[in-house]
Structure 1
Amino acid sequence: MTETTNGLDQTREALLDAAMMHVPFDGWSEASFRAAIADSGVDPALARAACPRGAVDLAVAFHKRGDDEMARRLAQTDMTEMRFRDKVALAVRYRLEAVDDKEVVRRGATLFALPQYAADGSKLVWGTADRIWTVLGDSSDDVNWYTKRASLSAVYGATVLYWLGDESPGNSATSEFLDRRIGGVMRFEKLKSQVRKNPLLKPFTIGPDWLGRQIKPPHARRRDMPGSWAAQAAD
């Protein structure tokens, strides 16, 4: 089974490499997929086995390839002296820099805006946020696991859209936009912390805090569920 899976992964990568020159012109379409098959020399039946949905599966593979490149660069970067907000910003910048041609991403944004593929697009953005938090060592095991990824997904999604239209030298305007968005998230997190520590507000936060601790991330419970309730309070 593993050998078969690896073979399909290699086939998908070969098709993806071949599709790169066609996507900017034909999008993530059947035309691009057929051209990739012809250029790569992959057997059409094997190509369909590796990518049952054709170019859509290649678009998904392209996004995940970018996540892998981002994670690789982060692993090679010494972030010991960096503030956490700067680590997050660096991760997003690395993710954007993993793309050589904005038009390929623009075509992907168009594809995943379609109703039938919107869920795929949302899942990919969530996956990127999850990858960033995981690489940066997030150890949350309650509702914060979800809120962190939801916040970063929003920041990442907005930054990508801004970046697609950015024509400033070195995408400097995108970097400034990203810093502002992360700054907003950090201010919100600081406000939440202040509310929890305020003795006058303590009676109003006990219930929500307890409830939040009962919500567990997927890796802490069953993997086939999006989350779960703890059987009992941790304390």
Structure 2
Amino acid sequence: MSDAEFDKIRDQLVLAVLPHAVFEGWSMTALQAAAADLGLDSSVSERAFLAGPVAAVEHFVALADQLMVEDLSSTDMAALKVPERVFKAVAVRLERWQPHREAIRRALAVLALPGNALAATRVTCRTIDAIWRAAGDNSHDFSWYTKRATLTAVYTATMLYWLDDSSDDGADTLAFLRRRLADVGRVTQMRRKVEGWFSRGRRPGAPHRR
């Protein structure tokens, strides 16, 4: 079996495990049940994820990143302003996984374990980068880091809000996301003003010299 074929099996397994993860968590028991649902030998789940459940969670998040980009393919992102592009990317992502919030909560619990800190950092960085790239960001200067650090805070807060959102179709979560992005926009505008003042040798509030 080629690597590409085995990757497809991994994709199928992490999707099939979602209903089982609600009750069993992201465990080998849940992965074996997913393999059985697909008509595969239970040993396949072990060979697919040699590092155990955390590897399955990492693969799931990577697949979610890929599907987010595919879901956005029908959207004319170029016609939107950058904040709307970011909003659209996150909204599309949350909409796809709305029926599986509890399974995703259990996935986050795996990443929250002390021994999985590096995996948690990896998947978060990849997801944030995928969102920014989907939004058309190709920066290579210091703003590359600041944009991703800022969005990490917004995305993490939004995910936590979404997990407990009982509103229809996650409407409250989308409103929360809009508010957080608006807050970031206001801070960014103020930072640019301050940078402009100092670049012209002026202090904020200092009188203008004629």
Instruction: Please give the TM-score of this superposition, normalised by the length of structure 2.
Output: 0.87
Structure 2 counterpart of 1:85, one-letter code = P
In structure 2, which of residues 89, 95, 105 is the aligned counterpart of residue 91 of structure 1?
Answer: 89
Q: Give how far 1:42 is off.
A: 3.0
Answer 1 or 2: which has greater helix percent: 2
| Distance across 1 between alignment mates of 2:122 and 2:83 | 23
Counterpart secondary structure, 1:198 = helix
The 1:33–1:146 alpha-carbon spacing in structure 2 relative to 1, beyond 3 Å, is: same
Instruction: Give the secondary-structure state (helix, strand or coil) at the position aligned to 1:167.
Output: coil
Does structure 2 conserve the Cα–Cα contact (< 8 Å) formed by 1:15 and 1:42? no
CA spacing shift, 1:37–1:193, aligned 2, 3 Å: same
Give the aligned partner of residue 170 of structure 1: 169
State how far apart, in whole Å, the 2-side matches of 1:182 and 1:58 are.
Answer: 31
Q: Is the 8 A contact 1:30 1:54 kept in 2?
A: yes
Go from structure 1 to structure 2 and tell me whether the alpha carbon gap of 1:145 and 1:200 turns closer, same or farther (over 3 Å shift). closer
1:151, 1:65 → 2: CA distance? 23
Q: Which runs of 5+ in 1 are unaligned?
A: 205-235
The residue aligned with 2:18 is: 20
Match of 1:74 in 2: 72
Q: Which residue of 1 aligns with 2:207?
A: none
* CA offsets 1:35-89 (integer angstroms, 9 cap, x no match): 2233333345543332112322222222222211211122210234422211111
Partners of 2:142 and 2:104 lie apart in 1 by 31
Q: How does 1:1-235 map to 2 (within 5 A)?
A: 4-99=2-97, 100-199=99-198, 202=201
Task: Give the match for residue 222 of structure 1.
Answer: none
Paired letter, 1:79: M
* Alpha-carbon distance in structure 2 between the residues aligned to 1:162 and 1:43: 38
Q: Give the C-alpha shift of residue 162 in structure 1.
A: 0.2
Q: Name stretches of at least 5 consecutive residues in structure 2 with no aligned partner.
A: 204-210
Paired residue type of 1:88: V
2:199 and 2:132 mapped to 1: Cα distance?
A: 33
CA contact (8 A) 1:28 1:108 kept: yes
Which stretch of structure 1 is more off in the superposition, 119-128 or 151-160? 119-128
Please say if residues 124 and 152 of structure 2, whose CA atoms lie closer than 8 Å, have aligned partners that are also in contact.
Answer: yes
Change (3 A) 1:41 1:81: closer
Q: Distance in 1 between matches of 2:140 and 2:30?
A: 42
Q: For residues 154 and 35 of structure 1, do their structure 2 counterparts lie closer, same or farther at Cα, with a shift above 3 Å needed?
A: same
> Is this contact kept in 1: 2:32–2:45, CA < 8 A?
no
Q: How far apart, in 2, do the equivalents of 1:46 and 1:202 lie?
A: 65
Looking at structure 2, the residues matched to 33 and 120 of structure 1 have their Cα atoms a distance apart, in angstroms, of 19
What do you get for the CA RMSD once the two structures are aligned?
Answer: 2.1
The answer to whether the Cα contact below 8 Å between 1:11 and 1:47 also exists between their aligned partners in 2 is no
CA–CA separation in structure 1 for the residues paired with 2:199 and 2:80: 34
**Percent identity over the alignment?**
36
Find the aligned partners of 2:192 and 2:128 in 1 and give their Cα distance: 22
CA deviation string 1:195-221 (max 9, x = no partner): 2211466599xxxxxxxxxxxxxxxxx
